[in-house]
Structure 1
Amino acid sequence: MNFRDLLSLCAKNLMRRKTRTLLAVIGVMVGTCAVVVMLSIGFGMTKSYEEQIQNYGDLHMIELYNYGSGMSYGSPQEQQGVISDKTLASIEKMDGVTAVTPVVTAYMTIGIGKYVTTDEIVGIKPDVLKKFNYGLQEGRYLNNADKDALVFGSYIPQWFYNPQSKNYDSKEQDVITDKIILTADYEYGQKPQSGQTDDNKIEYKQYKMKGVGLLEEQNDQPDYRVYMNISRLEEIIKETQKAEGTKNLVVPGQEKTYERAYVYVGDINDTERLCKELKDLGYQTSSPIDWLASLKETANMIQGILGGIGGISLFVAALSITNTMIMSIYERTREIGVMKVIGANLKDIRRLFLMEAGLIGFIGGVIGVLLSLLLSFLMNTVLRDIISIALSSFGAYGTTISIIPLWLVAAAVVFATAIGVFAGYSPAKRAMNLSALESLRNE
């Protein structure tokens, strides 16, 4: 018999026992729906975790630390995790790394007219800011020719206030066109205190700066920072330390090292791997991907539990298919005997019963997937608020509760069909081994 004949005969046989077939199909449908919906909730939780992490950090960014580097002795080759120009050049060559820069920071006062704000100034290599993919509201990024140029985080313009007003009145400033003063003097712009003398007052320099860019909102640390050329910031820090009578201890002949650096990864799928490789090299690393990995473990555990619950339903459905096919053999003993007497191939008999079982699994799988898509839609719309409250106990606060990717739809139908075929294998083998004479005599 060809495939079309087998399929036609399967359909007729299933329709002859509509109630039993329907119950078996319902069992597969419920099992498939349970597995798909449970897994979709797990995918939704994972997506929720990713959204939360992205709201609080850049998954492309790895921050390197080596706060003990300034007290380390010996050559950089003998030290582990040293951040120097040489080691950063090596890191930049690692597979997946897009940009690397040493980082120097200082808290300084920025003045525009009578308004001031004190913010974290971050010194970086000028050419890397563009590679970090921070969008621009206005202006441009830093370039290598910039010396006294600043790029502002999105929140900085709103933080300017008048220190001489009674209520410290605030006013948003135009950081691109206005004249800017940068100084380490935290009292810049304030009224002199009564009785205060200039005898012990430190004379901090005031640096004329130019705002060249304003970043788009990142929902992360860049919103609160001001970026400038690292070489220029180091000069300002040295001059500030000289004015204060302090300076960093530098060992003669020792290579210049940094306490921090940024490593930007082009593909977030490489971030976790690079974090591990950098840790193996002795660096202290920090990245939002660390939090995401922990949250994904939680999501995978919950997903496994939910998938297991659905799997039990599919197992019960498989038993239902097996029972249906065994009962079908008992009822069709004469039919099987006649098929053998007229010369039907034993493999055709086995294929017939396997196809019937597979068809039950296929139909149940398709209906189960369609029901899953409907339930997923309802969970993401009508029932979203109710389910969100339940999932919030696991730290999931995303707007999407259930996600059913296309591959899951296909896998569910294939798996349900395979379950049907597997459940029908033993009955099919039994039918194939029945004696033709015994079958006819029993009838």
Structure 2
Amino acid sequence: MKLKDKYRFIRQNIKKNKARTFMTILATAMGCAFLIVLASVGYGLQQSVVKETLEDQVVTEINVHGKIKDDNYYPITNDEITFLEKVDHVKAVTRKKQLAQIPMFHLDKYQTESVAVSTHFPSEVKAGLKLEEGKLPENANEVVVGYQFIDTLMLGSEKDAFDEESGKVKDEYRYKDSLIGKTISMTIQKDVESDETMEIPLTIVGVLEKPTREWMVNQNVYISQEVFQEVEAYTGTPSGELGLDPEGLETTQSESYDEVYVYADNLEAVQGIVDTLEEEDYATYSVVSEMKQINTLFTIAKAGLIFVGTIALIIASIGIYNTMTMAVTERAPDIGIMKAIGANPKTIKQIFLLESCYIGIIGAFIGTLVAYVISVVVNLGLPVILEMAFDEEMPEGLQFSAIPWSLVLISVVICLIVTVISGMRPAKRATQIDVLKAMRREI
């Protein structure tokens, strides 16, 4: 018997019991849709978390915390910087030092407190630093400021100018002119026990590009190494820290850095660089390491959700088993005739297994379509419902459900396996029917 003839025979038999077959297909479709929708939650949330992580951090960035020696952490010095720059596939090594006190900055009648940072601009440019306007510093007393620095400049006292409700400077007290070319005065305190201060004039020559994320704020002032050392010489303490006794202190801190980042040529090279640095006893962190942990957790979660969804298909398989058992009983005369004219038992078994697969394929197809519709509805409607229920705005771009082709393939394969297993017992029973009893309908 050809496959085409088997298929025609199956369709004829299904048409005889449309209602029962429809209910069986419906149960299979519901089970398949439940499996896909349930697992899609894991896929959707994983995509949202991964996307947010990739947007919040530079994927080729490796944070080097320090050098481990005798179970202690030591800051990165120029010697380590030289080594890091020679590692294969390293594009740039940025390094920053931050003043240990927060200076006051004055521009005409405007003022603000802001963090002062010394950085190595050539390496920052290699790493991708961009300016919103202006240029990079060329002289010792030229500085670049963060994009939000201008928003912190206020006229008069903080009590009058700062709006606590909005967390911003009131519009009438804000500085509204361009900062490029303006000279600001950085006030450095010598010691906590005295009012003695030093004024360092600085010229703003550039403003850094706006941070990529709305919640990110950069209001730092980026000073030169010369100015940084001038502050250390004035206070007599490393990084201009207050509260230390300058007697006997050496400002060797100038040779080490507070923040060091290594940038790889591409994403594929990140893990190799991390492995190399860890072998050399460097304490590192990269988003790639975090991504591995996130993906591992979501893989476990998705496997669990798929397992739970499979239970629904197993429940649906009871209906398939019942349908196929009834089909064997009702078609006993047909089976008897087929065996009487010499049909191979394998052929009879194949017919019933194909019918079971036919039900599974149709159910999987319908279930997949329903799952996609539910996924769209969930992504559009659930955020609105949650916002109304909890009175909180959901994060932008949050995706609750995602259905990749791999999930559809997994679900269809599981559905087919379950339906085939459900039809094996009835199919085997069909091959064991006695011809004479079948002709008399006495099975």
**Pairwise TM-score range, normalised by the shorter structure:** 0.7 to 0.9
Cα displacement string for residues 271-319 of structure 1 (whole angstroms, at most 9, x for unaligned residues)? 7887687567544445677777776676556545543432211111122
Hey, what's the Cα distance between the residues in 1 that align with 2:158 and 2:308? 65
Hey, what's the Cα distance between the residues in 2 that align with 1:431 and 1:49? 52
Hey, what's the Cα distance between the residues in 2 that align with 1:95 and 1:328? 68
| Residue 368 (structure 1) aligned with residue 362 (structure 2) | no
| Residue 155 (structure 1) aligned with residue 158 (structure 2) | no
Which amino acid in 1 is paired with 2:229? K
Q: Which moved more, 1:416-425 or 1:372-381?
A: 416-425
Alignment of 1:28-427 (within 5 A): 28-50=28-50, 53=53, 58=58, 60-66=60-66, 83-88=76-81, 90-91=83-84, 98-106=91-99, 107-130=102-125, 132-133=127-128, 136-139=131-134, 142=136, 149-163=142-156, 167-168=160-161, 170-174=173-177, 177-181=180-184, 183-185=186-188, 201-204=196-199, 206-219=200-213, 223-226=217-220, 228=222, 233-247=224-238, 256-264=255-263, 282-285=281-284, 303-387=302-386, 399-427=398-426
Residue 51 (structure 1) shift: 5.4
Instruction: Check the 8 A contact 1:55/1:220 in 2, yes or no.
Output: no
- Secondary structure, aligned partner of 2:24: helix
Hey, what's the Cα distance between the residues in 1 that align with 2:299 and 2:386? 18
Residue aligning to 1:196? none
Residue aligning to 1:191? none
Residue 33 (structure 1) shift: 0.9
Which amino acid in 2 is paired with 1:177? I
Hey, what's the Cα distance between the residues in 2 that align with 1:16 and 1:322? 18
Hey, what's the Cα distance between the residues in 1 that align with 2:377 and 2:216? 38
Instruction: Check the 8 A contact 2:229/2:254 in 1, yes or no.
Output: no
Taking a change above 3 Å as real, the CA distance of residues 131 and 176 of structure 1, as seen in their structure-2 partners, is farther
Cα displacement string for residues 90-111 of structure 1 (whole angstroms, at most 9, x for unaligned residues)? 5556677553222212244444
- Secondary structure, aligned partner of 1:63: strand
Hey, what's the Cα distance between the residues in 2 that align with 1:310 and 1:183? 64
Taking a change above 3 Å as real, the CA distance of residues 381 and 165 of structure 1, as seen in their structure-2 partners, is closer
Taking a change above 3 Å as real, the CA distance of residues 246 and 136 of structure 1, as seen in their structure-2 partners, is closer
Q: Which runs of 5+ in 1 are unaligned?
A: 188-198
Hey, what's the Cα distance between the residues in 1 that align with 2:389 and 2:358? 37
Instruction: Check the 8 A contact 2:96/2:258 in 1, yes or no.
Output: yes
Q: Which moved more, 1:351-360 or 1:301-310?
A: 301-310
Residue 235 (structure 1) shift: 2.4
Residue 119 (structure 1) shift: 2.0
Taking a change above 3 Å as real, the CA distance of residues 391 and 342 of structure 1, as seen in their structure-2 partners, is farther
Hey, what's the Cα distance between the residues in 2 that align with 1:330 and 1:91? 77
Residue aligning to 2:168? none
Q: Which moved more, 1:31-40 or 1:98-107?
A: 98-107
Taking a change above 3 Å as real, the CA distance of residues 269 and 337 of structure 1, as seen in their structure-2 partners, is farther
Which amino acid in 2 is paired with 1:121? A
Q: Which moved more, 1:307-316 or 1:115-124?
A: 115-124
Hey, what's the Cα distance between the residues in 2 that align with 1:289 and 1:221? 23
Residue 158 (structure 1) shift: 0.9
- Secondary structure, aligned partner of 1:223: coil
Residue 365 (structure 1) shift: 0.8
Hey, what's the Cα distance between the residues in 2 that align with 1:160 and 1:147? 23
Which amino acid in 1 is paired with 2:378? M
Which amino acid in 2 is paired with 1:361? G
Taking a change above 3 Å as real, the CA distance of residues 43 and 328 of structure 1, as seen in their structure-2 partners, is same
Instruction: Check the 8 A contact 1:45/1:396 in 2, yes or no.
Output: no
Residue 348 (structure 1) shift: 3.0
Hey, what's the Cα distance between the residues in 2 that align with 1:132 and 1:220? 21
Hey, what's the Cα distance between the residues in 2 that align with 1:346 and 1:391? 63
Hey, what's the Cα distance between the residues in 1 that align with 2:91 and 2:8? 60
Alignment of 1:8-47 (within 5 A): 8-47=8-47
Which amino acid in 2 is paired with 1:32? C
